[in-house]
Amino acid sequence: MDTTARREQWLREVAAAADAAALAALETRLLGPKGEVQELVRSVTSLPKEERPAFGKAANGVKLDVEAALQQRREQFAQQALAAELAAGDFDPTEPGPRPARGTLHPITLVQNELVDLFTSMGFQWEDGPEVESEYFNFDALNIPGDHPARESQDTFWLEPHPGLGRNLLRTHTSPVQVRTMQRLTRHGFHPPLKVIVPGRCFRSETVDKTHEHTFYQMEGLVVDRDVSTANLIHTMKTCLRVILERDVQVRLRPGFFPFVEPGFELDVNCPFCGGKGCPVCKQSGWIEILPCGMVHPHVLREGGIDPEVHTGFAFGMGLQRVVMLRYGIDDIRQFMGGDLRFLRQFPEVTR
Ligand code: FA5
């Protein structure tokens, strides 16, 4: 097969292409998956062994020459197009260029940022903890007994055990950071007052539906000091909800059981959609359950190195998706991780 003749022919065709569209069609014909140049390169396999090296080298050389010629012709067309636009006088080089599309913040990030700003303005510190957690911090240190249903594998993603390292899991809530923080501070000689928030990702082996995800976000809060009372807890929660829901809210406390608080509460907010009259969102009850919370259990304080005879504390664990859904009127939690850009683009653009 005469590679020189083929090369000459293809280079002539490139030079003769009338415009950018014809050039693009020619490129596909020559270099597309079944293109003529590709066929030439592949035909090496049909030759006797001794002829292959020389032919392969020549065929690859032809391919490189054709690619270079196409590139050069493409640039010529681009320059001609620009020159024509300038000559027509409808190109104003002083006009700002098209604005690059900006991303938007995810609604969970937006609300989390607002909450972090609010709590840090009230003197809270941001704490972090690992998403891969030990059984000790996730359950034992929080007074959650060995036979508690939350430990079962239908609720918890357990990890492969490593000899000598105990059992690990994907944390099911942000509460393990309570004892982590208390231990870290008391180990270094710090003592209450202590005010921390812990925004973070949690995982549960749940059946996904309108209100449940396997991966979701919580924000934990922990305050420990002398004489901390339920009144402090209610005041902090009301302030937080007023800011985040952008309206004054009425709240009510109901008893709620969590082994790491005593007493424990479910804090409900007066339904912001119907003002408490009853609607589908609040399931006609007039109230929406939003915030589990309570007074820190003495066992948990002790585990953190703090004397419960001297100090008391409150803690809360807010489901961030739940708050975002209330704030923006979103009725399906699966929207958050669905990856639908039309949903995400509704939220404000990144400005900083
Ligand atoms: C807890 O996780 C406790 N650690 C909260 C707590 C902290 C109580 C401190 C007392 C003191 P609960 O399992 O109810 O509690 O979850 C808290 C919130 O996380 C729920 O109200 C809900 O908004 C959110 N949440 C829980 N599971 C899911 C899920 N599968 N998908 C989305 N959000 C969830």
- Name the CATH superfamily for 107-344: Bira Bifunctional Protein; Domain 2 (3.30.930.10)
Average pLDDT over residues 165-188: 94
Structure confidence at residue 153 (pLDDT)? 64
How many Å lie between the centroid of ligand 1 and the Cα of residue 250?
A: 21
Structure confidence at residue 281 (pLDDT)? 73
* DSSP per residue, 37-83: HHHHHHGGGGS-GGGHHHHHHHHHHHHHHHHHHHHHHHHHHHHHHHH
User: In this predicted model, what pLDDT tens digit does every residue of 302-349 receive, in sequence order?
Assistant: 999 999 999 999 999 999 998 898 888 888 899 999 989 899 988 887
How many Å lie between the centroid of ligand 1 and the Cα of residue 260?
A: 13
* DSSP per residue, 310-327: T-EEEEEEEEHHHHHHHH
Helix or strand holding residue 265 (H, E)? strand 261-270
Helix or strand holding residue 129 (H, E)? none
**Protein residue whose Cα sits closest to atom 2 of ligand 1:** 173
The domains of the chain are located at: 3-88, 107-344
Average pLDDT over residues 222-243: 93
Q: Is the pLDDT of residue 352 over 60?
A: no
Q: Identify the residue whose tokens are 């404000």.
A: 348
How many Å lie between the centroid of ligand 1 and the Cα of residue 2?
A: 74
How many other CB atoms sit within 10 Å of the CB of residue 30?
A: 21
Structure confidence at residue 183 (pLDDT)? 97
* DSSP per residue, 194-217: EEEEEEEEEE-----BTTB-SEEE
User: In this predicted model, what pLDDT tens digit does every residue of 10-63 receive, in sequence order?
Assistant: 999 999 999 999 999 999 999 998 899 999 999 988 999 999 899 999 999 999
Q: Is the pLDDT of residue 85 over 90?
A: no
Helix or strand holding residue 36 (H, E)? helix 36-42
- Ligand 1 atom closest to Cα of 265? 10
Average pLDDT over residues 240-264: 88
Average pLDDT over residues 93-122: 90
**Protein residue whose Cα sits closest to atom 14 of ligand 1:** 292
How many Å lie between the centroid of ligand 1 and the Cα of residue 191?
A: 28
**Protein residue whose Cα sits closest to atom 20 of ligand 1:** 319
The answer to whether the pTM exceeds 0.85 is no
Structure confidence at residue 1 (pLDDT)? 57
